[in-house]
């Protein structure tokens, strides 16, 4: 074996840990022992292991709970259950948690060595890999579409801003004139003689303002149309990229 493999043996009986160490230490393995499940989980947080062998019946946290917690945090680590009291129910639960193998006591040197070699060859099931890779890709596509939409929206606002400002500049004087005329008209309407003059003034004001209002519409329409084209084109582009 080209590199040392590190295995963690979890058992409240120190004799078991010594047995693993005696068999595997000369076969290219480093054996580390833990006296219970809590000790094992702490060691797994601070060190990297190539495999874990855990007894099924231990005080506090049993081997099934140890296996489930390891698989929830580090699913790539092979876990082997060591037991002399195995049952169909416990084995089904262990299989569901992702346990790699079972070792049934009493243990022999050949059983320990063969189980360790088998654990070194175990790989994370390939069926889970595409799903894990597809999720980030879908998320990236979902994040990319709103980003493109925001860029197109900002571009349309940037292009139309000068012309919107021009429209406001053209219309503002006439809006002011209209407000003054309205205020003055209300005052003059109190006098019957002024009503006729006010009516005539409103007609003249409309005649004067009409060309400028038309000019404002003529200036604004092309840019409004351009903004609508950019908007619709951006939505179509985003829809096409999302469907891919």
Question: Which pLDDT band, with edges at 50, 70 and 90, does 136 fall under?
Answer: very low
**Residue 77 DSSP class:** S
pLDDT (mean) for 204-230: 76
Spell out the long-range contacts of 231-238 with Cβ–Cβ below 8 A and sequence spacing 24 or more. Answer: 231/152, 231/153, 231/156, 233/152, 234/148, 234/149, 234/152, 234/153, 234/156, 235/149, 237/148, 237/152, 238/145, 238/148, 238/149
Question: Which pLDDT band, with edges at 50, 70 and 90, does 151 fall under?
Answer: low
Q: At what angle do helices 128-188 and 192-243 cross, to 10 degrees?
A: 170
pTM flag (> 0.85)? no
pLDDT of res. 174: 73
pLDDT 10s digits, 176-205: 776 766 776 666 666 666 566 667 667 777
d(CA 76, CA 78) in angstroms, rounded, equals 6
pLDDT (mean) for 23-36: 94
User: Residue 227: pLDDT above 50?
Assistant: yes
pLDDT 10s digits, 55-112: 998 988 999 999 999 999 999 999 999 988 767 787 888 888 889 888 888 899 999 9
**Residue 75 DSSP class:** T
pLDDT (mean) for 222-233: 77
pLDDT of res. 238: 66
* Mean residue pLDDT across the chain: 77
pLDDT (mean) for 138-151: 48
User: Residue 142: pLDDT above 80?
Assistant: no
What domains are defined for the chain? Answer: 5-121 (3.40.50.2300), 128-243 (no CATH)
pLDDT 10s digits, 115-135: 999 999 987 654 444 344 444
Question: Which pLDDT band, with edges at 50, 70 and 90, does 45 fall under?
Answer: very high
């Amino acid at each position: 074996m080209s590199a040392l493999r590190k295995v963690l043996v979890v058992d409240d009986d120190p004799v078991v840990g010594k047995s693993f160490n005696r068999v595997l230490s000369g076969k290219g393995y480093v054996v580390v022992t833990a006296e219970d499940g809590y000790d094992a989980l702490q060691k797994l947080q601070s060190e990297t292991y190539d495999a874990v062998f855990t007894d099924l019946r231990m005080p506090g946290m049993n081997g099934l709970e140890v296996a489930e917690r390891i698989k929830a945090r580090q699913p790539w680590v092979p876990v082997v259950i060591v037991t002399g009291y195995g049952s169909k129910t416990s084995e089904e639960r262990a299989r569901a948690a992702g346990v790699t193998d079972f070792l049934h006591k009493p243990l022999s040197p050949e059983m320990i060595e063969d189980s360790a070699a088998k654990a070194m060859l175990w790989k994370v099931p390939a069926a889970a890999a595409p799903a894990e890779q597809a999720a980030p890709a879908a998320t990236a596509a979902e994040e990319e579409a709103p980003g493109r939409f925001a860029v197109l929206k900002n571009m349309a606002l940037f292009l139309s801003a000068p012309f919107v400002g021009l429209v406001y500049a053209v219309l503002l004087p006439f809006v002011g004139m209209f407000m003054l005329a309205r205020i003055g008209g209300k005052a003059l309407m109190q006098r019957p003689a002024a009503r006729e003059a006010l009516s005539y003034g409103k007609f003249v004001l409309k005649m004067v303002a009409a060309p400028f209002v038309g000019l404002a519409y003529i200036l604004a329409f092309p840019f409004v149309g351009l903004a609508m084209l950019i908007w619709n084109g951006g939505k179509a582009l985003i829809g096409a990229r999302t469907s891919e």
